[in-house]
């Protein structure tokens, strides 16, 4: 099954070199990712029911955690590829990009998705590092895709900051393998073998190593204060790519942190992991909160909101109780889906208004009625308003903070979330309802552009309503995820 998941993006990447028409290419890509999505659901089901999968002499190792991340990547990749068809077509019609460049876009898109799907599937921590570095290198081109001064600057900062960050992650990985080699076995970087001997590893080395891991992959995950590349890259990338960056690229880095975190928890105990994650989480929340309040750029606003949600996820894992972990896992999915939804909305708005500036965007509901309403729903979903899914995952994490007597954390979470809620309503209220700028009239939207919103709206609302009834299952899955 995993062969199909990894094979389809490679196959599609090869097809981009053979097929001439970019439109056909776009449609084929979406069909391909639909297949990947179905396959990833089957994979997740199979891992939950019949246990972990090991392939090719332990090179591929898929447990519940990997399968879950593959599923999240697949769903956003499908939505994004579907949205790309219309988006790229519009760009070509307007003469922003050429036919040839559209083909390069699909080539990079497929390679990017392939490297992201590959990262959770490998067992070897060194290859995991290579896969995550590959995601940076490929997506840098997609960030600098429009070749404007701003986008190239963003791409440059992105590639340099993330590469330096990730060098520290490599240092941490080497220290982990050193701690393992002290046990006297054969040298290996396979996660499954290291975690099996976690309890015997040298605690001091692991503690230092985990700091490096956290700085390294934390940079890629957008945890403050290593987040500085994120708003630039997210705001300059092509809209469907912004969705991928924010929805799932950050999550692959979180996946890597969790992989090492599981070893740390087993070797050193949860307190160490917990304190670091909660600290970084709260700093991220605080910083993003400040920047969201004063933000003047629509896409940067959404980018800072990603830092906020990554912070919430880190706090969830940091709290460490089953309830909190269930919340954090659930939040990873919710944020991926909701944030892509919002970036698609923002993409539609920006391509009509041709500006990112919040002050220049007024009366979206009158110009783009469908997108306007969807964005309005998205704002409430993203800021954690019931009955949407993010509300539930945030409540789970806050409840977990209360039940573990971490009142300060719960209070700070509530404070930051309510400030961010207010700021979002304020910014989007102006954009959606204000007076129409001169010369703008209502613009029709094609059906294909609408379907992707409805597709993503489905899980956002259904899960928000259904999860209270399947809470036991969610807790069970969350427990399975961190078993390794």
Reduced to 3 states (helix: H, G, I; strand: E, B; else coil), residue 60 is strand
Q: Is 208 in the site for another protein (CB under 8 A)?
A: yes
> How far is Cα 56 from Cα 313, in angstroms, rounded to an integer?
33
With contacts defined by CB under 8 A, name the span among 1-9, 61-69, 131-139, 400-408 that binds another protein: 131-139
Q: Is 134 in the site for another protein (CB under 8 A)?
A: yes
- Beta strands at 53-55 and 60-62: parallel, antiparallel or unpaired: antiparallel
Kindly tell me the burial class for residue 19, based on how many C-beta atoms sit within 10 Å of its own C-beta (0-12, 13-18, 19 or more): middle
Q: What angle do CA 55, 59, 61 make, to 5 degrees?
A: 65
> How far is Cα 29 from Cα 21, in angstroms, rounded to an integer?
12
Residue 306 CB coordination number (10 Å): 27
Q: Which of residues 374-413 bind another protein (CB under 8 A)?
A: none
CB of residue 276 to another protein, shortest distance in Å: 18
Hey, what are 122's tokens?
Answer: 């490998």
CB of residue 457 to another protein, shortest distance in Å: 31
> How far is Cα 235 from Cα 151, in angstroms, rounded to an integer?
9
How many positions of this chain bind another protein (CB under 8 A)? 49
Q: One symbol per residue from 154 to 173: x for binding another protein (CB under 8 A), - otherwise; what is it? A: xxxx-xx--xx--x--xx--
Ordered DSSP codes for 356-388: -BGGG---HHHHSHHHHHHHHHHHHHHTT-TTS
With contacts defined by CB under 8 A, name the span among 46-54, 71-79, 107-115, 287-295 that binds another protein: 287-295
Q: Which of 4, 104, 137, 270 binds another protein (CB under 8 A)?
A: 137
Q: Is 52 in the site for another protein (CB under 8 A)?
A: no
Q: Which of 27, 46, 54, 177 binds another protein (CB under 8 A)?
A: 177
Q: Is 290 in the site for another protein (CB under 8 A)?
A: no
CB contact at 8 A, 436 and 363: yes
CB contact at 8 A, 206 and 263: yes
Q: Which of 205, 436, 451, 475 binds another protein (CB under 8 A)?
A: 205
Nearer to another protein, 135 or 334 (CB): 135
> How far is Cα 453 from Cα 173, in angstroms, rounded to an integer?
40
Q: On the CB side of 478, how many CA atoms lie within 13 Å of its CA?
A: 25
CB of residue 392 to another protein, shortest distance in Å: 32
- Helix orientation angle between 203-221 and 270-293, rounded to the nearest 10 degrees: 20
Q: Which of 32, 144, 218, 327 binds another protein (CB under 8 A)?
A: 144
Nearer to another protein, 116 or 367 (CB): 116
Nearer to another protein, 214 or 328 (CB): 214
Nearer to another protein, 187 or 438 (CB): 187
* Interface positions with another protein (CB under 8 A): 124, 126-127, 129-130, 133-134, 137, 140-141, 144, 147-150, 152-157, 159-160, 163-164, 167, 170-171, 174-175, 177-178, 181, 187-189, 204-205, 208, 231-232, 235-236, 291, 294-297, 300
């Amino acid at each position: 099954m995993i062969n199909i998941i990894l094979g389809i993006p490679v196959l599609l990447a090869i097809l981009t070199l053979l097929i001439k028409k970019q439109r056909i290419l776009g449609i084929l890509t979406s069909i391909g990712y639909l297949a990947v999505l179905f396959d990833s659901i089957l994979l997740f089901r199979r891992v939950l029911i019949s246990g972990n999968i090991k392939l090719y002499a332990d090179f591929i190792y898929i447990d519940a955690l990997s399968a879950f991340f593959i599923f999240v990547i697949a769903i956003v990749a499908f939505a994004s590829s579907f949205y790309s068809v219309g988006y790229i077509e519009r760009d070509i019609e307007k003469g922003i990009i050429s036919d040839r460049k559209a083909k390069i876009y699909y080539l990079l898109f497929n390679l990017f998705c392939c490297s992201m799907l590959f990262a959770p599937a490998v067992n070897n921590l060194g290859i995991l590092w290579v896969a995550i570095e590959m995601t940076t290198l490929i997506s840098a081109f997609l960030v600098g895709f429009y070749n404007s001064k701003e986008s190239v600057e963003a791409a440059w900062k992105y590639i340099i900051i993330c590469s330096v960050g990730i060098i520290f992650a490599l240092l941490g990985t080497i220290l982990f393998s050193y701690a393992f080699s002290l046990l006297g076995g054969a040298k290996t970087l396979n996660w499954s073998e290291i975690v099996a001997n976690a309890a015997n590893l040298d605690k001091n080395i692991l503690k230092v190593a985990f700091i490096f891991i956290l700085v390294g992959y934390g940079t890629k995950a957008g945890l403050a204060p290593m987040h500085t590349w994120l708003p630039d890259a997210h705001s300059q990338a092509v809209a469907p790519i912004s969705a991928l960056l924010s929805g799932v690229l950050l999550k692959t880095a979180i996946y890597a942190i969790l992989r090492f975190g599981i070893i740390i928890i087993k070797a050193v105990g949860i307190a160490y992991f917990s304190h670091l994650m909660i600290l970084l989480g709260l700093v991220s929340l605080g910083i993003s909160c400040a920047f969201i309040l004063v933000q003047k750029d629509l896409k940067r606003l959404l980018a800072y909101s990603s830092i906020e949600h990554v912070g919430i996820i880190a706090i969830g894992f940091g709290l460490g109780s089953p309830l909190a972990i269930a919340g954090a896992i659930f939040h990873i999915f919710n944020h991926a889906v909701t944030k892509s939804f919002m970036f698609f909305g923002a993409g539609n708005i920006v391509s009509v208004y041709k500006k990112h500036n919040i002050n220049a965007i007024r009366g979206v509901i009158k110009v783009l009625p469908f997108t306007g309403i969807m964005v309005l729903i998205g704002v409430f979903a993203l800021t954690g308003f019931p009955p949407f899914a993010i509300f539930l995952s945030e409540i789970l994490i806050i409840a977990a903070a209360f039940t573990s007597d971490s009142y300060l954390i719960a209070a700070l979470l509530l404070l930051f979330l309510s400030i961010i809620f207010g700021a979002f309503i304020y910014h989007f209220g102006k954009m959606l309802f204000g007076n129409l700028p001169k010369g703008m009239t209502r613009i029709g939207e094609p059906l294909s552009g609408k379907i992707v919103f409805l597709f993503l709206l489905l899980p956002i609302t259904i899960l928000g309503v259904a999860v209270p009834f399947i809470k036991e299952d969610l807790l069970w899955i969350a427990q399975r995820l961190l078993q390794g």
